[in-house]
A = this chain, B = another copy of it.
Amino acid sequence: MVRKQSAADQPLRLDNQICFAVYSAAHAFNRVYKPLLDRLGLTYPQYLVMLVLWEQDDVPVKDIGERLFLDSGTLTPLLKRLEAAHLLKRTRSSEDERQVLIALTPQGQALKEKARNVPQSILAASECSVSELVAMKNEIVALRNRLNAVIGE
């Protein structure tokens, strides 16, 4: 019995790999964000940290790390750069001296206004309807959560 070779029969082909799709999409997003975030003086990971802080201020480094799935080796130098840019302050907690609390400065809070129009620019670049994007986002988040669960084992 002869049958046509389908894509699924070639698992090592680059174009068949969802992981490469995700990897390359992440870079593509980054490149779209870059000119927008340059105006705010932020990199994309720095923007993510600011998003967390705009939702909840005065949080320990660990909480930010859990939100973004990043560890202190990534966050510590990044937060120091944001502190050097006067967007936040790092202070060791008095209740638990192991923790460093991150609090926005007035400039850091003010930057939220300048960032307000970023999401709609990204939406435009994606050339997608909001409902399509929401559906995709939910699928990707579900996949990510399953992957993270496997790692945690």
Q: Which residues of A contact B (CB under 8 A)?
A: 7-8, 11-14, 16-29, 31-33, 44, 48, 51-52, 54-55, 67-69, 112, 115-116, 118-120, 122-123, 125-128, 130, 133-134, 136-137, 139-141, 143-144, 146-148, 150-151
Contact = CB atoms under 8 A, between A and B. Distances in A.
A122 to B, nearest CB: 6
Chain A interface secondary structure, helix, strand, loop or mixed? Answer: helix
A31 B133 contact: no
B18 A133 contact: yes
B151 A28 contact: yes
A25 B24 contact: no
Given A13-B55, A26-B26, A18 B147 contact: no
Contacts of A13: 51, 55
A12 to B, nearest CB: 6
